[in-house]
Structure 1
Amino acid sequence: MDTTLTDPLVGQTLDGRYRVESRIARGGMASVYLALDIRLDRMVAVKVMHRSLAEDPQFVRRFIGEAKSVASLSHPNVVHVFDQGTDGDHVYLSMEYFPGKTLRDVLRERGRIPAREALEIMIPVLAALGAAHQAGLIHRDVKPENVLLTEDGRVKVVDFGLARAIEASNQTKSGIMIGTIAYMSPEQVTAGVADVRADVYAAGIVLYELLTGHQPYQGESPMSVAYRHVHDSVPAPSALAPETPPALDALVRSATAKDPAQRPNDAAAMLVAAVEAHRGLAAARVSGQHSVPTFPPGVQHTTVQPSLDLPPAAPVKRNLRPVWFVAGLALLMLAGIAFSGWYFSQERYAKVPDLLKQNVKLAEQAARKLGFQVKIGEPRFDGKVAKDIVLETQPAEGVEVEKGSLVTIIASAGPEMVVVPKVENSSEADARLKISEAGLTVSRVRKSASDKIARGLAIRSDPVVGKRVRKGSSVVLVISVGLLAPDVTGMMRDQAQQFLQTKGYPGDCVNEVTDDAAPGTVIAQEPAGGAEMEPTTKICMTVSKGPDTPFWPWERDPSIAAPDFVNVPDVRFKDVNDARRELESAGFEVKVRKVVGGRRVISQNPVGAVPQGTRITLWH
């Protein structure tokens, strides 16, 4: 069962800003969700602390302080913190979102990692930690789970300061050690103290795990592992992975020294050593161009040659066969040495080429031409990259691997398409749920009158039901406000009666009164236009009989000159825009009112002959 469907936070909006779309991960202290920042229209990762922590005021205070400190840390290998806040029982951080894997995922998939690649992962990790140490921040929980490898090959470190916030809370009063036992320094275990060298120790353990595929200490309980951190020395990675260069053995040994004073002063110092080790590996490979292979300092290789029995010097007849045999052996040994020199002088490694944004078939051909084995992985939906275009390679572009290694190419399956669900006659809440479960979002709710759909229920959606759209697309939800009385005030009586009868309302409820309005004009109605009503409600109109005195002012006052009269064109049933243009070109002022919302004019007032320039009202 998909646990995100049962997570109560999915579908909610935190702090009125972060709409939670799905749960990415769940850990011992927090859950991580993918959310849309509706204010800035961007996807973010939201880390929500478990309720036991959120209910602790000491934790919340420290958490907010640590979040502010981490937010000020700007480094390309640190996941940037955008915001922190509380929403009821929820205490959260919003951070950059990067699709990808954790280093733990990579270790599960691949096991041990070659020395050069391990250093190329650790160098950006140490750069991030070094920047934090220079800013006075300690991570306290360095481990593969807190290292992200993004889809575009970048390395990012997360969760700075979280362990410190928990350390200050009431959660530690039962004697719980904060951190992860497998990566905890001896001083953290024995005294509960940590400075930047505790991060160095943990980084050394991570490097050991990358090189060997295993953590250095195993035990039946966390305390037995902690005991070994205090009393044992971390073994050399080469004991499990013989191909590990001595420089990396030395780097792990230095970083994991039991005495903090024997370790590099901080992650920046360890970074310098890691870069030097990486440079040494590259130099060793370049030196392989000589005819005889060279090896790192301190490594001696002995050539074993067979002993040769020389013939006796006695004056007896010599047998020439041993001489030719020795000569043959010598030639064979020379050939072997020459082959060894040739073999080690060859470039045994190659960088994974940049195949991104290429057609998957062309990318496969290009990789095979370079000598790689190629596997086409399962395509992955992507809303930005077209179908059959390469999204990712494993290993990533630029990683050095042995020639002939397997490269997995993952192409885009194009945008994932989903069907707009049927929402008609559903409540607004149910309609939103159906749209969310289909993988879509409601961008706007529009109200509309309906004589068929009860108030508060969905009339339709836009796009309409059954249409296939991109997953994650926005949908407009149209909700009924019930049946509303049409507004016929201002219309001529006969036109209003005709309109009401076409809508199914009796048109015989008419009261005539003396009024200054032109004779035959509807001046009022009951119920009023826009009022909620039942389908059987009768609409009664009040119609003007005209004033007691003549209607036109020049008829009442002979001193006023009568204007020229012109006939108003009958534009009923024409397109409202065409009708407007026709009347304006004839010299009339035009006002448009909506009563049903169609494109056709259903009524106009006045009609007949009127003074030039009179304002004509159109209803549509």
Structure 2
Amino acid sequence: MQANELIAERYKIIEPLGEGGMANVYRAHDMILDRDVSVKLLRLDLRDDSTIRQRFENEIAASTELVHPNIIQVYDFGETNQLQFLVTEYVKGEDLKRYIAKHHPLTITRTLQIMDDILAGVAMAHSHNIIHRDLKPQNILIDEAGRAKITDFGIALAQSSLGLTKTDVAIGSIHYMSPEQVKGGIATTRSDIYALGIILYEMLAGKVPFDAPEAVSVALMHSTQPMPFVRDIDPRIPQALENVILKATQKNAMDRYNSVDEMREDLSTVMAEDRINEPRLEMAAKNDISNSTATKIIPASVIGAAAAVANKDVKADGAVSPSLISRKQKEQEKKPQKKPKKKISKKRRRMMFFGGLLALILGIFLIVGLVSSDKVTMTDFRGYTEKSAKNSLKEDGLKVGEVYHVSNKQISKGKVIKTDPREGTKVDKGSSVNLYVSTGAKKVRFGDYTGEKYSKVEHQLEEKGFTVKEVQQNSTDVPEGYIIEQDVDAETLVNPGDTTVTFTVSRGQQTITVPSFQNMSQSQVQAWADKNGLTVSFNQVGSDTVAADMVISQSVKAGTKVTFATVITVTISTGSNDVTVPDFGGKTLSDVQSWAKKNGINVQPKTDVTSSAEKGKITSQSVSAGDKMQKGNTITVTVSAGTGNSHSGDDNNADGHS
């Protein structure tokens, strides 16, 4: 497909993302929903291959059934120009294989985060009775947020399916296939668990555990060789974490985890304190029967034949078979036998005697010659400085030859390790002597320890000769006792004996003890909150017992320890609920309304058209002056209309009073 081509009159091709054995993948733009998507399009040369079409349809069927944040979401599928296509979400990022290569070594914390995402997605697929069968880092994408998403269900398998469940071929990627898969046997959820164990190993070690030029050789390794120990590559890896790999990659499927959820639960506790001294998992390895990372189909007969050749002479317990012993015996029989020694004649014995005597005489002359020559016995220069060793050699009449600077743990930097010739050797004066001078211990990459438990790292580094210091700091993100940062860069090459590292260690979230706010004003409470970096929310209610602007209650009990994220609610008094009513006689309506608003009282005005009072003045009120009323209640006031002289007094009196 070319850029700007349309698929299904909707998806506009932007660029190719990758090519596979079954389909090509492109980044495209959904013209209707205005978003970028990934489009997987069946290869043109395979459109008439019924097996490949079946696998592509199988991926569509499996993917559309799965909706999970750690599984690529399917948006659409169909057929265009006799080619099947599958539209999924576009993940801007990289696959796990490239991620490992770019960031190796991954921290333990990051490894556990990614693995938990993967396990969550696989667990969801298994809950729908779907087995992936081709789990590998290339089929796991890491988005910009760092979240892992599983893709490519091209050979995924429903457990109830009979068409692909048992077969005479091995389908999958050799480096991650379980022993039962390489035989073309039944793939189960435990087959996916084996692949997950291999992926976890690769994330920690930076390489796959079994590798060889030929696919069959890798397959045989999976079935016959014990799983290598990842802690042999990096001893900083917790034993509990290595045990998860060993459990997941047992040769016998029944010895693995019963489910992905069980593996996920075990993985979640590998950093727990009670597992620090956990012994290495030891389970009997059984010979149950993976060159590229591309998905392959290998006839089981080929693998079986190779396995037979590899195993015919050696039993499962390592004993040599009788056939091999027999063959070795026959080989010995074919070898020519040694002839018996002949007896030596007297004449020959005399010749041998005189020959030996002559050799002895010559030896004596040689020794005398050596003694009389000008010889120097080499001094032991070990521990000398390079300068002092050179001076001593010159004093002895010897020349300084080559000076080699090599690393050495035992000999301090700048001191002589050895000489060539060695100490005690007699050499001619004027001879050249080579010096080997120590550069100190070999420098090693320091490594990244952020996110790991300080107590364990401290012990490991001190055993190697490092000087380790600790600075504590509060943290809302890093658990108490774990390393936040280090003052030595991970890529720095260091000499353990000469290196001091300071780790910033989390002491968890800082806590503040909440005091009693009783008898404090709102401004005093706010000042305390500002000083301690906390947030306080205020409510205001009336109170007959607590003076206005003073604290009535608090949502967090005094003496409680809280973190900075805690919001404390404090209720402030607005004063008494009772209001003393003044005399409104002669006041205006606006005067009354102003008072009422201030005191939380409602006002109901009433016009008096009979009053002779000045227009707009209050002539009467429903609550007498000096009486008390509660906030929220209503007081009625009568306002003069100023028209009393234009009506009869009797009529005015009848209508004007409340």
TM more than 0.5: no
Larger radius of gyration: 2
Instruction: Tell me the TM-score range normalised by the shorter chain.
Output: 0.3 to 0.5
Q: TM-score normalized by structure 2?
A: 0.42
Q: TM-score normalized by structure 1?
A: 0.44
